[in-house]
Structure 1
Amino acid sequence: LFPSIQMIGFMFGSILGGIISDKYGRRKVILFSMTLVSASMLVMGLAPTVLMLQIGVFSYGFSIITRAVTAMVILNELLSNDKRRTFGILVSVFCGLGGCVLSVVAYCIPNWRWMTLAIAITCTAHLPLYYCFIRDTFGWLIQNKRIKSAEKLYKEVVRVNNINLDEALLSDLKLGTKPDDDESNDVTKVENFTYIDFVTVPFLRKRILLLSFMWFSMNMGFYGLSFNTPNLGGNRFVNAFISSVVEIPAQFLCFVLVKKIGCRMGFISTAGACSVCVLLTPFLQSTNQIAGVVCAMLGKFFISAPFTILYLVTGDLFPTMLRTQSYGACSFIGRVAAIIVPYVLYLGKTVHPYLPYIVIGTVTFISAIAALLLPETTGINLPDTLEDAKQQDSHMKCCQPKKKK
């Protein structure tokens, strides 16, 4: 019940967080969501009733996914083309490390209340860092006509990094607004984009449908293999630790593949390898338990890479004013899969033990094929407008020839 409640929180956070972030700014959403994460953990640890615990779990799910998608958007908008892939993958490495630490903490603090409170205190302790260092991104400020805030942010960057002020850039910024403009009025001049645009604009509709299915399949594979870890036999803490450890080298594989063959082919190769491992697991497990565990962990290894790639490319395919909403819409569909996963695993106990693996492996394989219909985004600037996003369709070839220097 509680995992399903958390996933429902993920769903609402994905949808509402995307709208709020694109409309009111990245910084406000990050600060609100991180504060709510800490408060939710405290509520769960101190909950006197089941109802309060359920509220805490829902609130935690809502806030943690809102923070995750907004943080990924900030990362994409802050960094240049050659840096955002590297740092995006590095974030996933730390997620794997966090899973390893959590396994150790759970082993050392077996009482779930004390463990939850320990995590809540840790989250609360570093909240001041977010308030001190998180800023709205330059791209979001420009697209929302927040010219004065963009100018202020630019001057702060110049001061902190001790670099020369670009007067030409400042002049270009000032041309976008009159000196006596009220910044609050600027927002009303901005064209508003909503989830409806994903349906009414043909090329956006195609992309959101393909990406939603890919998120659905990756969530089903990732959470299916994660939730099934206790059923593999052996010590559950050790299995959980290994399940998190394999995510770390998977990110290095992801880094190499993205550099060598691009995000799209990297996704196709790793998702395809994952589907093979998942389909083989039940057959190996019936003959040798260790071989079955190894194959399942290889599946978790391979599913981690395309999951990371999805986080990297989803925002690349949509303009600035729809970027967080694209993450929200895809994440919403992905959480539907996460809610369904326990019931898919239950089919293994009631219908046939091989059935969950067949379902997860097949869906993962189809998603690898679906990726062929999306453009390659490696080395391409983030699109600011709908026109910029549409021009990406020229990068539909599987292998792009290298440009001569």
Structure 2
Amino acid sequence: MGFSDLLNEVGGFGRFQLIHVTLLSIPGLLMASQNLLNNFTAGIPGHFCKIPNITSLAEARNLSELSRADLLRAFIPLEDSKLSKCSRYAQAQWHLLSENSSHYEASSNETETCLDGWSYQKNEFISTIVSEWDLVCKLRPLKQMSQTIYMGGVLTGAIIFGGLSDRFGRKALLIWSYFQLAVLGCFTALSPSYLAYCIFRFLTGMSVSGIILNAVSLKVEWIPTKARTLVGTISSFFFTFGQMILAGVAYSLKDWRKLHVAVCAPHFIFFIYSWWYSESARWLVLTGRSDEALKQLHRVAKINGRPEMAEKITLEVLQAHMQKEVQSSKTMYTAYDLLRTSVMRKISMCLMVVWFSTSFAYYGLAMDLQKFGVNIYLMQIIFGAVDFPAKLVALVMLSFLGRRLTQATCLLASASVIFANIFVPKEMQIVRTTLAVLGKGFTSASFTCVYLYTGELYPTVIRQTGMGFVSTMARVGSMAAPAVLILDEVLPALPSIVYGGSAVVAGITAFLLPETLSVPLPDTIEDVEEKWGNKSQRFKKQVQNEMVAFEAEEQTPGEHEDGKPAAL
């Protein structure tokens, strides 16, 4: 008898659970927007050096009939048949406007940096933080740094809000996280400087972690065990669909300040209706607040159409059902227990590599859509849509091929696609885009697998601690991914080499993990050590036992088991 039995008595997955899960999942539509927002708020518009008074200079030479694009040839050198983005001629080269001039004639002229700033094209973006604070040329790494700082906030939030939710409750921290994201997200749109923008994004990232962690806990702790897989799968589709919604919202606004308000202001609505949520009754009992837990259970029973259960479930009944959970909560486990024993240490180290590389490759592909040369808004929709079939295929593979082979296959397949894209010419945009979409699909499938795989590898007594420990590596990977994009200044293919190499290492590492398909979940650390301990040691012990038995038989040759002489 446990808390799951009480949930079944008050209606199982009834009306309350359906409303509860739906309201908790809706904000997930905007969680993906927060993680991928940098694709649009920090998009790089077409740009070139600003030329002051270009019109008056042309009129002085009676060239006012020429278009602005033609006049720029006299001020800005060409690179790959396009206007240079980071340099201009020290003096105007008017002779280049004549029909007999050539690019080679101008190549020897002295150039200088963009001393007067840059002019930005507004066909793809009206305004981004790049055009706002001139994050181009030498300052281009600051574009990626803003995303790394945001992901640092996500990591910090996971550490801080995870501990606070165990102390103050899931509902309280979730309500606060909604409010923090709504307020600070809108303040981000008012940022007067790049530094202020990064600070607000860091704090916004913290609130994103608070929402995700506590929403998941409230879902899991209020639904029966049998419904968890289905609810988890459906909830993940909210994140996937949110990626497609982001593309539509970004296309309609094209201004980074308005876009921030659009994806953050709705959290005021979530903040208001989140007061309807019920605090986790399981958490209330484990923290000594059984009276409040009983009230929440009675409320759930009434909403599910089982009011008679409010009289049957008393404080004594609740405590009797929760006795096992209360006893297990008295034994404290820490992250040290994940590394204390040999098998647990091996599992934890391997999972750290898998989680890091999965997130690293995922955001490496998803955070720089402009490099594929396709309309960035269309690319975002395609990247979001591919997650639907990828997750369904992953579920089929997990059921028939097992966890280990599926995990390794997804990682190695994503690595092969990333490497293949290095050798595809930029002119073959369809091929490059197709490979990028496949890579994104494989990394999404890897995420689907690793969540399930991790939960099955860690024992019940330390499963949540283990999940938090290894998922931290995923957040470290998401922080490192945008920073690696800076390496394209050294060698354009270098980021892809790093992303692909990381996925290869993780794919090979996944083969070192034990298989969990059709294997009962371990409950204790001792179960893990016994179930997946060193096979060579077990084989050695088996051989020793067989040798002892053989020697015993050799000591009494020619005799049967009954002690009688054997027939010749």
**TM-score under structure 2 normalisation?**
0.60
Going from structure 1 to structure 2, the CA distance change for 1:286 and 1:106 (only over 3 Å counts) comes to closer
Measured in 2, the distance between the counterparts of 1:319 and 1:128 equals 37
Measured in 1, the distance between the counterparts of 2:176 and 2:451 equals 22
2:216 to 62, 66, 72: 72
Aligned-pair distance for 1:82?
3.9
Q: 2:390 aligns to what?
A: 250
The structure showing larger relative contact order (alpha-carbon pairs under 8 Å, at least 6 residues apart) is 1
Going from structure 1 to structure 2, the CA distance change for 1:172 and 1:305 (only over 3 Å counts) comes to same
Measured in 1, the distance between the counterparts of 2:481 and 2:514 equals 29
Aligned-pair distance for 1:131?
1.9
Q: 2:230 aligns to what?
A: 86
Going from structure 1 to structure 2, the CA distance change for 1:203 and 1:86 (only over 3 Å counts) comes to same
Q: Does 1:224 align with 2:224?
A: no
1:174-185 alignment, distance < 5 Å: 174-175=319-320
1:337 to 464, 473, 477: 477
Aligned-pair distance for 1:268?
2.8
Q: String of CA shifts for 1:254-273, please: whole Å, max 9, x gaps.
A: 33333444544432332232
| Farther off after superposition, 298-307 or 149-158 | 149-158
Q: 1:268 aligns to what?
A: 408
| Farther off after superposition, 5-14 or 267-276 | 267-276
Q: String of CA shifts for 1:214-253, please: whole Å, max 9, x gaps.
A: 1110111101101232111122222222222212222222
Q: Does 1:39 align with 2:183?
A: yes
Aligned-pair distance for 1:134?
4.4
What is the count of residue pairs matched by the alignment?
384
Q: 1:401 aligns to what?
A: none
Measured in 2, the distance between the counterparts of 1:196 and 1:288 equals 50
Measured in 2, the distance between the counterparts of 1:347 and 1:17 equals 33
Measured in 2, the distance between the counterparts of 1:228 and 1:358 equals 15
Going from structure 1 to structure 2, the CA distance change for 1:285 and 1:298 (only over 3 Å counts) comes to farther
Q: Per the alignment, in what secondary structure is the counterpart of residue 309 of structure 2? A: coil
Measured in 2, the distance between the counterparts of 1:321 and 1:38 equals 36
Measured in 2, the distance between the counterparts of 1:117 and 1:376 equals 46
Measured in 2, the distance between the counterparts of 1:158 and 1:85 equals 23
Going from structure 1 to structure 2, the CA distance change for 1:70 and 1:369 (only over 3 Å counts) comes to farther
Higher helix content, 1 or 2? 1
Measured in 2, the distance between the counterparts of 1:278 and 1:176 equals 51
1:153 to 296, 303, 311: 296
Going from structure 1 to structure 2, the CA distance change for 1:395 and 1:110 (only over 3 Å counts) comes to farther
Q: Per the alignment, in what secondary structure is the counterpart of residue 481 of structure 2? A: helix
Structure 2 unpaired stretches of 5+: 1-144, 534-568
Q: 1:183 aligns to what?
A: none
Going from structure 1 to structure 2, the CA distance change for 1:38 and 1:259 (only over 3 Å counts) comes to farther
Partner letter of residue 348 of structure 1?
A: D
Q: 1:388 aligns to what?
A: 524
> Over aligned residues, Cα RMSD in angstroms?
3.3
| Farther off after superposition, 114-123 or 372-381 | 372-381
> Do 1:147 and 1:177's aligned partners in 2 also have CA atoms closer than 8 Å?
no
Q: 1:240 aligns to what?
A: 380
Going from structure 1 to structure 2, the CA distance change for 1:56 and 1:260 (only over 3 Å counts) comes to same
Going from structure 1 to structure 2, the CA distance change for 1:196 and 1:90 (only over 3 Å counts) comes to same
Q: 1:29 aligns to what?
A: 173
Partner letter of residue 107 of structure 1?
A: Y
Measured in 1, the distance between the counterparts of 2:198 and 2:179 equals 18
Q: 1:309 aligns to what?
A: 449
Partner letter of residue 309 of structure 1?
A: C
Measured in 2, the distance between the counterparts of 1:372 and 1:81 equals 29
> Do 2:344 and 2:529's aligned partners in 1 also have CA atoms closer than 8 Å?
no
1:293-304 alignment, distance < 5 Å: 293-304=433-444
User: How many percent of aligned residue pairs carry the same amino acid?
Assistant: 27
Q: String of CA shifts for 1:64-122, please: whole Å, max 9, x gaps.
A: 12322333344444444443222222222111111111111111101111111122221
Measured in 1, the distance between the counterparts of 2:165 and 2:507 equals 30
Measured in 1, the distance between the counterparts of 2:280 and 2:460 equals 13
> Do 2:459 and 2:528's aligned partners in 1 also have CA atoms closer than 8 Å?
no
Going from structure 1 to structure 2, the CA distance change for 1:121 and 1:160 (only over 3 Å counts) comes to same
Aligned-pair distance for 1:299?
0.4
1:120-139 alignment, distance < 5 Å: 120-136=264-280, 138=282
Q: Does 1:366 align with 2:510?
A: no
Q: 2:153 aligns to what?
A: 9
Measured in 1, the distance between the counterparts of 2:229 and 2:237 equals 13
Going from structure 1 to structure 2, the CA distance change for 1:395 and 1:85 (only over 3 Å counts) comes to farther
Greater Rg, structure 1 or structure 2? 2
Aligned-pair distance for 1:146?
4.3
1:108 to 252, 255, 269: 252
| Farther off after superposition, 14-23 or 100-109 | 14-23
> Do 2:363 and 2:478's aligned partners in 1 also have CA atoms closer than 8 Å?
yes
| Farther off after superposition, 115-124 or 104-113 | 115-124
Measured in 2, the distance between the counterparts of 1:77 and 1:190 equals 19
> Do 1:376 and 1:396's aligned partners in 2 also have CA atoms closer than 8 Å?
no
Going from structure 1 to structure 2, the CA distance change for 1:316 and 1:73 (only over 3 Å counts) comes to farther
Going from structure 1 to structure 2, the CA distance change for 1:120 and 1:341 (only over 3 Å counts) comes to closer
Measured in 2, the distance between the counterparts of 1:71 and 1:196 equals 27
| Farther off after superposition, 127-136 or 141-150 | 141-150
**TM-score under structure 1 normalisation?**
0.82
Q: 2:192 aligns to what?
A: 48
Measured in 2, the distance between the counterparts of 1:377 and 1:24 equals 35
Q: 1:357 aligns to what?
A: 496
Q: Per the alignment, in what secondary structure is the counterpart of residue 234 of structure 1? A: coil
Q: 2:48 aligns to what?
A: none
| Farther off after superposition, 22-31 or 217-226 | 22-31
